[in-house]
Amino acid sequence: MGHIEDARGRGFDQIWIGALIEKEKKVLLINPSGGLYEFPRVLIEEDESVNQALARALIVGAGLELDQVVSYLNHFDWVDGEKKCRQLNYIVRARDTYEVLVAHAWVRAADGTGHPIHHDLMEALDLYSEKTT
Protein backbone atom coordinates (compact mmCIF):
# COMPACT_ATOMS: atom_id res chain seq x y z
CA MET A 1 0.00 0.00 0.00
CA GLY A 2 1.29 3.46 -0.88
CA HIS A 3 1.45 6.49 1.38
CA ILE A 4 -1.63 8.13 -0.14
CA GLU A 5 -3.74 4.99 0.17
CA ASP A 6 -2.53 4.54 3.75
CA ALA A 7 -3.53 8.12 4.63
CA ARG A 8 -6.94 7.68 3.03
CA GLY A 9 -7.38 4.36 4.85
CA ARG A 10 -6.62 6.10 8.14
CA GLY A 11 -9.43 8.58 7.51
CA PHE A 12 -7.51 11.72 6.60
CA ASP A 13 -9.77 14.29 4.92
CA GLN A 14 -6.95 16.22 3.25
CA ILE A 15 -3.66 14.87 1.95
CA TRP A 16 -0.98 17.38 1.09
CA ILE A 17 2.15 16.60 -0.93
CA GLY A 18 5.26 18.54 0.09
CA ALA A 19 8.46 18.81 -1.98
CA LEU A 20 11.83 19.17 -0.30
CA ILE A 21 13.83 20.45 -3.27
CA GLU A 22 17.55 19.77 -2.91
CA LYS A 23 20.41 21.47 -4.74
CA GLU A 24 24.10 21.40 -3.88
CA LYS A 25 23.48 20.21 -0.29
CA LYS A 26 20.87 22.93 0.29
CA VAL A 27 17.08 22.81 0.34
CA LEU A 28 14.49 25.31 -0.81
CA LEU A 29 12.10 26.94 1.64
CA ILE A 30 9.47 29.24 0.19
CA ASN A 31 7.60 32.06 1.87
CA PRO A 32 4.57 32.80 -0.31
CA SER A 33 2.49 34.52 2.35
CA GLY A 34 5.13 36.37 4.35
CA GLY A 35 4.57 34.12 7.37
CA LEU A 36 6.28 30.83 8.02
CA TYR A 37 8.65 29.32 5.47
CA GLU A 38 7.54 25.98 4.04
CA PHE A 39 8.16 23.39 1.34
CA PRO A 40 6.26 23.90 -1.91
CA ARG A 41 3.10 21.84 -1.42
CA VAL A 42 -0.30 21.11 -2.89
CA LEU A 43 -3.48 19.37 -1.85
CA ILE A 44 -3.53 16.12 -3.83
CA GLU A 45 -6.40 15.73 -6.25
CA GLU A 46 -8.57 12.57 -6.27
CA ASP A 47 -6.99 10.71 -9.20
CA GLU A 48 -3.56 12.35 -9.09
CA SER A 49 -0.34 10.37 -8.61
CA VAL A 50 2.39 11.45 -6.21
CA ASN A 51 4.65 12.39 -9.14
CA GLN A 52 1.89 14.50 -10.73
CA ALA A 53 1.22 16.26 -7.42
CA LEU A 54 4.94 16.89 -6.86
CA ALA A 55 5.28 18.35 -10.37
CA ARG A 56 2.31 20.63 -9.68
CA ALA A 57 3.74 21.62 -6.25
CA LEU A 58 6.98 22.75 -7.86
CA ILE A 59 5.26 24.71 -10.62
CA VAL A 60 2.61 26.32 -8.41
CA GLY A 61 4.81 26.79 -5.35
CA ALA A 62 8.08 27.93 -6.90
CA GLY A 63 7.79 28.15 -10.67
CA LEU A 64 10.14 25.18 -11.11
CA GLU A 65 9.97 22.01 -13.20
CA LEU A 66 10.29 18.58 -11.56
CA ASP A 67 13.35 16.63 -12.68
CA GLN A 68 13.50 13.65 -10.29
CA VAL A 69 11.70 12.22 -7.28
CA VAL A 70 14.52 10.99 -5.05
CA SER A 71 12.60 9.38 -2.17
CA TYR A 72 9.86 9.63 0.40
CA LEU A 73 11.02 11.58 3.48
CA ASN A 74 8.29 11.66 6.15
CA HIS A 75 4.82 12.89 7.03
CA PHE A 76 3.15 15.00 9.67
CA ASP A 77 -0.46 15.37 10.72
CA TRP A 78 -2.68 18.16 12.03
CA VAL A 79 -6.34 19.03 12.49
CA ASP A 80 -7.83 22.06 10.73
CA GLY A 81 -11.27 22.67 12.19
CA GLU A 82 -13.15 19.44 11.49
CA LYS A 83 -10.63 18.15 8.92
CA LYS A 84 -7.89 15.62 9.63
CA CYS A 85 -4.87 16.54 7.48
CA ARG A 86 -1.63 14.77 6.57
CA GLN A 87 1.34 16.14 4.62
CA LEU A 88 3.54 13.60 2.83
CA ASN A 89 7.02 14.99 2.14
CA TYR A 90 9.27 13.81 -0.69
CA ILE A 91 12.86 14.67 -1.58
CA VAL A 92 13.00 15.93 -5.18
CA ARG A 93 15.27 17.68 -7.65
CA ALA A 94 14.17 20.43 -10.01
CA ARG A 95 15.37 21.02 -13.57
CA ASP A 96 16.37 24.66 -13.14
CA THR A 97 16.62 25.95 -9.60
CA TYR A 98 17.95 29.40 -10.36
CA GLU A 99 14.69 31.20 -11.21
CA VAL A 100 12.49 30.65 -8.14
CA LEU A 101 9.45 32.90 -8.56
CA VAL A 102 8.43 33.48 -4.92
CA ALA A 103 10.10 34.74 -1.74
CA HIS A 104 12.46 31.96 -0.77
CA ALA A 105 15.68 30.84 0.89
CA TRP A 106 18.16 28.10 0.04
CA VAL A 107 19.35 26.71 3.37
CA ARG A 108 21.49 23.91 4.64
CA ALA A 109 19.01 21.57 6.31
CA ALA A 110 20.79 21.83 9.65
CA ASP A 111 20.48 25.65 9.51
CA GLY A 112 16.74 25.75 8.79
CA THR A 113 16.03 27.33 12.14
CA GLY A 114 17.45 30.61 10.83
CA HIS A 115 14.02 31.15 9.24
CA PRO A 116 10.58 31.04 10.85
CA ILE A 117 9.26 27.51 10.21
CA HIS A 118 6.76 25.18 11.87
CA HIS A 119 8.23 22.56 14.23
CA ASP A 120 6.91 19.73 11.99
CA LEU A 121 8.90 21.14 9.08
CA MET A 122 11.99 21.43 11.29
CA GLU A 123 11.63 17.72 12.10
CA ALA A 124 11.54 16.97 8.36
CA LEU A 125 14.69 19.06 7.84
CA ASP A 126 16.43 17.27 10.74
CA LEU A 127 15.51 13.88 9.25
CA TYR A 128 16.77 14.97 5.83
CA SER A 129 20.01 16.20 7.40
CA GLU A 130 20.49 12.82 9.13
CA LYS A 131 19.87 10.94 5.86
CA THR A 132 22.32 13.03 3.84
CA THR A 133 25.27 13.21 6.24
What integer pLDDT is reported at residue 99 of this predicted model? 78
What integer pLDDT is reported at residue 113 of this predicted model? 64
Residues in the chain: 133
The domain containing residue 73 runs over which residues?
Answer: 3-132
Of 69, 64, 68, the C-alpha closest to 96 is: 64
Of 88, 92, 53, the C-alpha closest to 69 is: 92
pTM above the 0.85 mark?
Answer: yes
Residue 89 burial (C-beta neighbours within 10 Å; 0-12, 13-18, 19+): buried
Contact status, residue 72 vs residue 90, Cβ threshold 8 Å: yes
CA distance 121 to 126: 9
Identify the CATH number of the domain in which residue 35 sits. Answer: 3.90.79.10
Total number of domains constituting the chain: 1
**Binning pLDDT at 50, 70 and 90, where does residue 34 land?**
confident
Mind listing the pLDDT tens digit for each residue in 52-86? 999 999 999 999 999 999 999 999 999 999 999 99
